[in-house]
Structures are given as structure tokens and as C-alpha cells.
Structure 1
């Protein structure tokens, strides 16, 4: 006999999708509203395990039937959303965004979106808000679990089910806890570190519950619900929050069926939860694309309302008809889904070809690695010497040291530095400093403890290389210098062979820059610091491309220029840091401000050439234009001391 319909489970789905939507829309206090996905994971593990175990007990389980029903339930609505998102993509996405979107579509169709997105973007970073199919990562994890769970339950004797699932839960949770500070992005996106949540639901479905336990769980409903609302506010460690949410969800799943006015109201949202989850994210991405930054509140509320209406239509006319048994033979349905998959997989390429511009924006906005990608040193591999590909002469006289902002300086300097030549030693995200680095307070950030330790090792090696390269006379230090003055980071400091953590401060940051300058001067070199270029509250490269393509743009940033007062306000702490460092370290800080800005605005293009490739980094052309028109190489050599 099938399990009775649980209105409370459907209501729980409604609560979960609301948490996710409000988080993505930046509405309310749910700073960790993404935990709604964890609720979905537990529910999915619970229901699928219950379904398969019952069918196995009745000797009527079929792999073909199981996967056919999953495909019929999930794919039609997902395919409609992918198709509509693809049709709209050329109107809202940049050329670079369209090419990334093509990979997202392939990932969504092959249930590998979590892996594709892990390689493309940090879920919590600004780039993620420009990926229309980002939310398919969670659906891919569920599908991967659905592929493996039936194999386990069929091949393992029933008496080992509980032990096997429990071992999976413990192993996955242990892996999650151990890796979260070292590779938070992998922990977030990949099945091995997320399967414990679905395994918790599976365990709940297999555990026998006696009447006394069921009655006790019924009394825990309100505390569990309170926990589901409090944990997404982000009060504790992310893994702790996730564990609390999963435990609360499991308690509600194993409590007796519950029905009241609130449950019935939330159930209506739960009925739309899958469609609403599918629709809301691309709608929000496209609305934000039109405004280039965070839209006004009215636009966000309108996007959420549109998503609600769209989810009702998708559920009413697509999801429900297929779920209830759309009048179509299995062969026709499966062949239709297969043909649709092929069509959808090729549709982004067709959209790119149909909207191809005379300008190669992908090349114009390519990542600026300076002399080459090999000069962006990766984690765990600090340079032992300057590679030949990272210097323009056999005995370069100038060294550029820093992070990705330093890389962006190099193309222009390389073209204008002359016969003296330059060398490049850079590592993305790594603040040029000696013995210290910044660690993000957000565990899902790429600026993890492991990254900070690698950054310190990288800078140690740069200093060691400098000591053995007497021909280098001038060292150019460049960085956005924003992490040292941000409350989102803490200080990691090396003390001998150990590391200690402490609070970052303006004083500590100034002392760090001073120590760096003194360490370089101790090797007999002269030093100059380059301030980061002016930035706005929007993606400048994306704005310039949309402007060139004639795309829809609304809001205050539609002219793609940087407002000087806003820039000074947003970067006030960084500007103060550089001023203090210039005084304390007796070092010249060279800025582009006078060249790019007047009293009110800073230009972002010259003669139609993009100066920026993204929200702050110079493009290859921009680097060269600025270097030539400001005589930057000569200016830096002259200013160094």
C-alpha cells in the first residue's frame, strides 16, 4: 500500500521554497535562506527511500519504471524553463555570459550542473547572480543520488540497509566538516559532501518509529518549525546550521500527519514548489541584468510576483498533466524528451550564432593574466624562480608583484617599459604582504584558511626570488587593498612555524604594507605602489558590452560611467589605507584617478575601447591605453624609492 498523502510534507516544501526565493531576492532576515535547499534534500531522501523500499517489499520495483516516473515528473517543467531561459538569454546576457550559459544548459541536461557550476563560479559570489541556470546544481545532486540509491537498496540485503545508509551519512558529514575550510566550493556543490543530507532523509524513512516516539515527535513540531525559521538567519556555523535544519526537517517528517489552516495554506505553495524553484532564479537574474546592479525594491517584488504567477502556469499546464499521466505512450514521451534534450543542448550555440556581433566581446573581455595564464600561480605551487614566459627580457629590471589587479597592469607596462623589460609574479586574490594574509569569515568563500596559507607561502617565495635577482631594480606592488579593511575578513599571521588568527584593522594593514616595503628595500630594490583603478557598484565590462550591443539597460548606471562620489564613499577605507601607508612606509602611491576622472564621473572607455573587462580589472586594451597615455612605466620607475 502506498503511504498516505502528507499535507504537512507538502507544506514543508512550501516553506523551503519560500526561504530560497526570499534569500535569492534579498528580502527579509534570511541571510542563510539557501538552507531551504537542505530541507528539500532531506525530504527527497525520505520520500524516494520510502517509495523504493515499499516497492522492493512488494517485489514490484523496476529500474526502468522508477527512472521513467522520475523523468516524467521532473523533466517536462525543467525543459520548458530551460527553453524559455535560452530564448531570453541573448536579450539579457553578455557574450561571455552566453558562452557560460551554454555550459550551464549542458550541465542541466546531463545532471552534472553542480560540477559545471563548481568549475565556473562561487555560489555566493557576484558572478553567480549572472548565471540563469545556477539553481540546477541542487537538482543535479538529487538526480545523482537517485541514480545511486536504488542500486544500493537492490544489491544490498535489507538487514544492511540501515547500517549502510548510516555509514554513508557519517562518511559524507565527516568529509564535509573536514573539507569545508579547505575547499568550501567543492563542499557546497559536490555529492560526496552533500549526500549526508539526503542520507538523513533515507535513514528516517527506514527507521521504525514506535507510537511513543511518534507522540514525542508530535510535541516537537513547534520547536522544529522555530528552528527551521531561525537557522536560515545565519546565527551559527554554516555546517551546524545545515545539520540543525536537516534534523528539524527529519523530526517533522517522522511526526504524525498534521493538518490545520496554516498547513493547508503552505501546502498550496508547496504544490508549486518545484515550478517556483525552477522559474524564480532566471527571472531574478534577468531583472538584475537590466539594472546592472541590485534593482529597486519594486522591481524585485514584481519579479517575485511574476515568478509566482509563472509557477502556477507551469504547474497547471506542464508539471501536473505529465505527472498525472499525459495522454502519450511511453515510447513517444521518452523519444520526445530525448529529441528535446538534443535541441536544448544545441540551442545556446544557435542563439550565440544568431546574435553574433562584429565585435569579439569574448576576446575583448577575456581574463587579463598579464603575460600569460602561467603567471597566475595556483594554490600549493609557489614559484621557485621566475618562468621565462613571465618575463619580457632575460634580465628584467622591473618586477610586478601582487594579485589579479597587478596582472592587469602588465600588458600595458610590457608594451611601454622598453628594453629594460619586466617580470611578473602574481597570484589571484593574494594580497602582497609578508607573513600575513586575509581569511574570509564566510566559510563558503574561496578565501579560505588553506588559501591564506598558500598566499603567505607565495609571497615568501617572491621575496626569496628578489634576493637572488640583482638585475631587478624596481618592484611595482599592486592590489585592490580592500580585504585588509573589510569586516568580512580576519587576519592570518605566521609566527615561526605556526599560524594565528586575529582581527584586521587599518593599523594592522598599514603596518603590513610597511613591512612589505621594508622587506623589498632590504634586498636593495626600490618600491612603488599602484592604487586600484576606480570602480563602481556594477560590472563595468558587462555594462560596456550591453551598451555596445544595444541591450536593454535601466537605472543610474546605464551610461557605464563611475560616479566619483559613490566610488570615494565605497572605497573610503581603502583610500585611507593607501594614504596612511604612503606616509608610514615613505612610498609613492600612483593612481589613475586624475587621468580617468573629473569632478563627477570616471570614464570607463576611450574611443570605444573598453578600459575594464569586469567590475574592476583592466582589459588588455585598457591596460595598454592607460599605460601609453599616462607614460605609466616611466612614471612608476621615477616614483619608486
Structure 2
């Protein structure tokens, strides 16, 4: 049977998004707020898995219809936010930062921003605070999963229908153990890449299979209510007790993931439903996607503009602004594109293509012109030139993850290979600032 709408799922979305906002805002007490994304992964797997499985059982599944529904749900507001961010980036960002932003925007449209961000810096690096599109990595993970999951489930359903649960469980365990192994040796790759994140979404798919197998006469027991409460405690505890020092996604990821699964399975009655069905939480859950899209750009651009740590008062104002933006985009973009019968399929697709072209076109223009330095007056350009003269290596040797970044002036490679040297300076922009002086001093 199809998955019915459940208010508590929207409440669970609210429970996930609020700690993410507080974590990115740097509010003390939410050291594990970033695991709200893991809660979203399980919810997405549950909803998408339920839709696919129901369609397969009724022999009504269509790849074209599935992907159109996903595009209609995600892309209109996502592209709108990217367009607004591109305008803000043009006004606020320095040429080098604008080029980096442009690569990220283009990668976001191509469902690969997780890879682009991995090549630049770690999710928990201090420089990440200034990346307006840092949060798009998780959207790319979900979009990549949406591309592969239907194909996987359809093939298994056709070949070994009776073994569907067992085979999906095997895929889940394989991805989970790969994540544990990779989180120790390749922590950044494990954090950003789909193979080590897929198990979280597959847990949601398994939950959908389990939930759909329950009959209408199913009776809810006190023991299952206890499991629902335990799941809620696991999720909330993860927000408060986990931190960036824990290997992620590793064993610790089980706490928010299994907690979310338990809430979905056993939170449809009793105290958990009463809590998560609260009107305010449901409302926040409804606008959570727009809220997630807006929060990081607002924080990053504000930090870039101020160049100082944002005060609590500023953060409260910015969070309020994020809620206003989220409500407006949910009301005037998300809902109309998702539900309006006045918008034809052709109109929706044309709008999505136009939005994608605008974002990609702006990105390539910024990259081609090396950040559009013409935006600045002659005096500013002279200062930039003087800074480059102080350290001539600056334009050449900004690298990330051991490979040249997307936008250096050719020549960085010669400093990394084929040269003999006694001292290698590695680090952030501060290390780069002293590298030339150190080279001059050591050569004397």
C-alpha cells in the first residue's frame, strides 16, 4: 500500500533542520548538529523507496515520471537560490572567491558539488564557513542516489523479487562497512562520496519495505512506543553529544540513522507522534527544504561581508531572515511548481532548462574572466597587483586535496613535482602568506 502522509515526518524534518542551522551558525551546545543531514538521508530513502516500491508492485513505475517528479520537487527552488546567490557573489566576492563559487555552482547544477567541494576543502575546515554553497554536497548525494536507486530496485525486483529485502540489506551493509573503513583512511572522501553515504538512504528504503508490509489491522504495542521514544532520544542525543572529532560517517552515524528509522517505524502513535505533530514543528518541516537551501548562503555571505565573527544578535537576525526567505520561496516557488495544475510539463521543463543555463552561463563567464576583475576600480586592482608582487607564488600554488584547484594560473605543478627542495610549506592562506618570505630567508 502507498505511504500515507504523516505529520510527524514533517516534524522530524524540523527536528533535523534546526540543529543544522545552529551548528552552521556556530551556536554552542550543538556540536553534532551536522548529523541533521543524516536524518534527512534516511527520510529521503524512506519516501523515495516507498514511492518506487509501490509503483513496482502495481506495475505502474515509469522512469520518466519518477525523474520528472523529482525535478519538479527539487530543482525550481534550488535553481532560484543558485541564481540569487550568483548575483550576490558577483556583488560581494573577490575574483578568486568568485571563481571558486562559480565552479561550485556549475557542479551543483550537474549533481556533483560534493566532488567539487571535496577538491577544495574539508567540510569542517575554517574556510568552509565562507563557502555559500557548502551545503549543496548533500543535495548532490541525494540526486546521485535518485539516479541510481530506481535502476537498482527495478532490476532486483525483476530478477529476484522475493529476495528484494535481503539484497537491499546486503547493499546497505556493504556501504556501511565501506564507510567505517574509509572514515579512518580517507575521511574526506568517506564524508563526501555516495558509496559511503548510500547506506543511510538504503536504511530508509528498508524502513519503507518494513512499513508497507504492515496491514491495516496492525496493533500498536507499548514496547513499540518505547522503541519510538528511544529513537527520538538517539537523534536528539546525537545533536548534543557528537562532534566534528568523531569519524564520520562511521559507527557513530548509526545513532542518528537508526534513531530516525525507529521514529519512522514506531513514531506513528503515542508520545512521539504527539511531540513531532506539533503545529510549529510541522510548519518548519514543510519549509525545511527552502530553509536548508537559504541558511548557508546567508551565513557565508554575511561572514564574507563582515570579515569578523558574527555576534549572537547578528546570528538571531540572520536566522530570522532565513525563515522569511524560506517561507516566501516555499509559498511562491516550491508549492506552485509542485502542485499547481496550471503549469504544464513543458512550462516546468523550460523553466528548469532556463534556470540551469543562467547559472552555468554566469559561472563560465566568471571563470573565463578570472573572477571579473573589471568589477573593481583601478585602485583596488593596483592593491591586488602589489600583493601578488609581494609573494609571486600566490597565484600559482593554491591547491587542495593534493591536486591543483580548478582555477590556478598554470605552473603550480612545477612547484609540486620535478623540483628538489628541502622545505615544503603546507597549510592555509596564512602559510601561503609566509612561504615566499621563508623561501627568501632560507636561500640566503
Shorter-chain TM-score category? 0.7 to 0.9
For the residue of structure 2 that corresponds to 1:59, the secondary structure is coil
Could you tell me the TM-score, scaled by structure 1's length?
Answer: 0.59
Greater C-alpha Rg: 1
In the alignment, which residue of structure 2 is the partner of 1:623?
437
Distance in 1 separating the partners of 2:415 and 2:348:
51
> Is 1:289 aligned to residue 304 of structure 2?
yes
Residues 169 and 206, structure 2, Cα contact 8 Å, conserved in 1: yes
For the residue of structure 1 that corresponds to 2:253, the secondary structure is helix
Could you tell me the TM-score, scaled by structure 2's length?
Answer: 0.84
Q: Could you tell me which of 395, 401, 405 is aligned with 1:366? A: 395
Distance in 1 separating the partners of 2:347 and 2:93:
34
In the alignment, which residue of structure 1 is the partner of 2:44?
44
Higher normalized strand content (fraction of residues) = 1
> Per-residue deviation at 1:616?
4.2
In the alignment, which residue of structure 1 is the partner of 2:404?
none
Residues 168 and 202, structure 2, Cα contact 8 Å, conserved in 1: yes
For the residue of structure 2 that corresponds to 1:366, the secondary structure is coil
Distance in 2 separating the partners of 1:89 and 1:342:
17
Distance in 1 separating the partners of 2:398 and 2:349:
46
For the residue of structure 2 that corresponds to 1:132, the secondary structure is coil
In the alignment, which residue of structure 1 is the partner of 2:61?
61
Residue correspondences, number: 404
In the alignment, which residue of structure 2 is the partner of 1:201?
204
For the residue of structure 2 that corresponds to 1:321, the secondary structure is helix
Distance in 2 separating the partners of 1:219 and 1:289:
46
Closer/same/farther in 2, CA of residues 27 and 335 from structure 1, 3 Å limit: same
Distance in 2 separating the partners of 1:110 and 1:80:
15
Residues 7 and 276, structure 2, Cα contact 8 Å, conserved in 1: no
In the alignment, which residue of structure 2 is the partner of 1:583?
none
Task: Give the alignment of 1:327-346 within 5 angstroms.
Answer: 327-346=342-361
> Per-residue deviation at 1:232?
2.0
Task: Give the alignment of 1:402-417 within 5 angstroms.
Answer: 403-404=424-425
In the alignment, which residue of structure 2 is the partner of 1:263?
277
Superposed CA RMSD: 2.6
The structure, 1 or 2, with the larger RCO (C-alpha pairs under 8 Å, 6+ apart) is 2
Closer/same/farther in 2, CA of residues 5 and 376 from structure 1, 3 Å limit: same
Residues 106 and 345, structure 1, Cα contact 8 Å, conserved in 2: yes
Residues 180 and 251, structure 2, Cα contact 8 Å, conserved in 1: no
Residues 217 and 252, structure 1, Cα contact 8 Å, conserved in 2: no
> Is 1:19 aligned to residue 19 of structure 2?
yes
> Per-residue deviation at 1:615?
3.5
Distance in 2 separating the partners of 1:54 and 1:303:
41
> Per-residue deviation at 1:220?
2.1
What's the CA shift string for 1:234-276, capped at 9, x where partnerless? 4484423311110010001111524436522211110110000
In the alignment, which residue of structure 1 is the partner of 2:262?
251
> Per-residue deviation at 1:16?
0.4
In the alignment, which residue of structure 1 is the partner of 2:292?
277
Distance in 1 separating the partners of 2:152 and 2:260:
24
Residues 11 and 266, structure 1, Cα contact 8 Å, conserved in 2: yes
Distance in 1 separating the partners of 2:207 and 2:276:
25
Closer/same/farther in 2, CA of residues 300 and 142 from structure 1, 3 Å limit: same
Distance in 1 separating the partners of 2:253 and 2:10:
20
For the residue of structure 2 that corresponds to 1:287, the secondary structure is helix
Task: Give the alignment of 1:119-138 within 5 angstroms.
Answer: 119-138=119-138
Closer/same/farther in 2, CA of residues 64 and 214 from structure 1, 3 Å limit: farther
Closer/same/farther in 2, CA of residues 369 and 200 from structure 1, 3 Å limit: closer
Higher normalized helix content (fraction of residues) = 2
In the alignment, which residue of structure 2 is the partner of 1:465?
none
Residues 214 and 256, structure 1, Cα contact 8 Å, conserved in 2: no
Distance in 1 separating the partners of 2:274 and 2:322:
26
What's the CA shift string for 1:347-373, capped at 9, x where partnerless? 134454374446395993425489954
In the alignment, which residue of structure 1 is the partner of 2:227?
220
Distance in 2 separating the partners of 1:263 and 1:168:
33
Closer/same/farther in 2, CA of residues 326 and 96 from structure 1, 3 Å limit: farther
In the alignment, which residue of structure 1 is the partner of 2:30?
30
What's the CA shift string for 1:424-476, capped at 9, x where partnerless? xxxx36xxxxxxxxxxxxxxxxxxxxxxxxxxxxxxxxxxxxxxxxxxxxxxx
What's the CA shift string for 1:78-100, capped at 9, x where partnerless? 01100110000023222111111
Residues 111 and 140, structure 1, Cα contact 8 Å, conserved in 2: yes
Task: Give the alignment of 1:571-586 within 5 angstroms.
Answer: none
> Is 1:167 aligned to residue 197 of structure 2?
no
